[in-house]
Amino acid sequence: MENSPASRGADIDPAGLAVDLRGVVKAYDNGLVALGPIDLAVRRGEFVSLLGPSGCGKSTALRLIAALSAATSGTVRVARPAVTENGRHPIGFVFQEPTLMPWTTVRENVRLPLKLARVASSQANARVDEALARIGLSEFADSYPRELSGGMKMRVSLARALVTDPDILLMDEPFAALDEITRFRLNNDLLALWRSLRKTVIFVTHSVFESVYLSQRVLVMTPRPGRIAAEITIETKEPRSEEFRTSADYAGYCRRVSSALAPAYSGQSA
């Protein structure tokens, strides 16, 4: 499908890419250029973080990948599975806020994408149960959002994204509003999920420490219009654990990422 002047394609070359953005620019009618030009290639099964100051276009990039917004120019290509039936969707999106329906249960909040896709109840029930088990909320399936902590609400949002079995998981600062202990716990759980499911994850964050702990690559972005100023590959032993957080390697990577990020906060061009 082609949109002029920007184009969007579904076929990625055999290099194993899940997402490929080339020369992508996002500008608004008021003349504001929010993003680009930006080139971004993410391999299948990779965990990549986008790190940068507020307003640099991190969330805009996710919305372009998810086709929630159209690029002004350039090419956005996203690998899509051959089969998308039974409520399966190539992309799952976890937003900054859980955006749960307060009037219904955890189970029904997670079921919503399958309900909209008219998936048979028996199949939907099994998939909801599996998603809740994966994120550790099976015993809260019949609870209401008002009965949950902030971290638990975000887990429900993650389960709702996973229930469609996406190949690509887009996460827009999902843990930013949580306390540090909860955030660390969810970081660990997210890594465990990624190792188990091997989804492609593109994770937006303001936190140097979170980006280094989670990612295989950290992409540092410039102030608006957002461009990629630096790419830092995090090479560590797997699986990562709490020991990594206190290691010399972790501290070294955090210093490198912080140094790459510093110009963005000083108003200099990177």
pLDDT of 100: 96
Segment 142-164 mean pLDDT? 96
Quick: pLDDT tens for 154-196: 999 999 999 999 999 999 999 998 999 999 999 999 999 999 9
pLDDT for the residue 88: 82
**pLDDT tens track for 25-51:** 999 989 899 998 999 999 999 999 999
Whether the predicted pLDDT of 4 surpasses 50: no
Domain annotation covers residue 1: no
In eight-state DSSP terms, residue 140 is G
Domain annotation covers residue 92: yes
pLDDT of 263: 84
pLDDT value at position 1? 33
Question: The domain containing residue 217 runs over which residues?
Answer: 6-266
pLDDT of 8 above 70: no
CA angle 183, 185, 191 (to 5 degrees): 100
Task: Give me the CATH number covering residue 31.
Answer: 3.40.50.300
Comparing 168-172, 192-196, 240-244, 247-251, the range with the smallest average pLDDT is: 240-244
| Averaged confidence pLDDT in the chain | 90
Number of domains in the chain: 1
Residue 107: predicted pLDDT: 97
The CA-to-CA distance between both ends of the chain, in Å, stands at 35
Whether the CB-CB separation of 221 and 50 falls below 8 Å is answered with yes
88-124 pLDDT tens trace = 888 999 999 999 999 999 999 999 999 999 999 999 9
Which of 189, 199, 200 is CA-nearest to residue 242?
Answer: 189
Q: What is the pTM of this model?
A: 0.92
3-state secondary structure of 21: strand
In a domain, 111, yes or no: yes
Alpha-carbon distance of 219 to 256, in angstroms, equals 12
pLDDT digits (tens, 9 = 90+) for 71-92: 999 999 998 765 566 788 889 9
pLDDT band at 15 (very low <50, low <70, confident <90, very high): low
pLDDT in tens, 190-215: 999 999 999 999 999 999 999 999 99
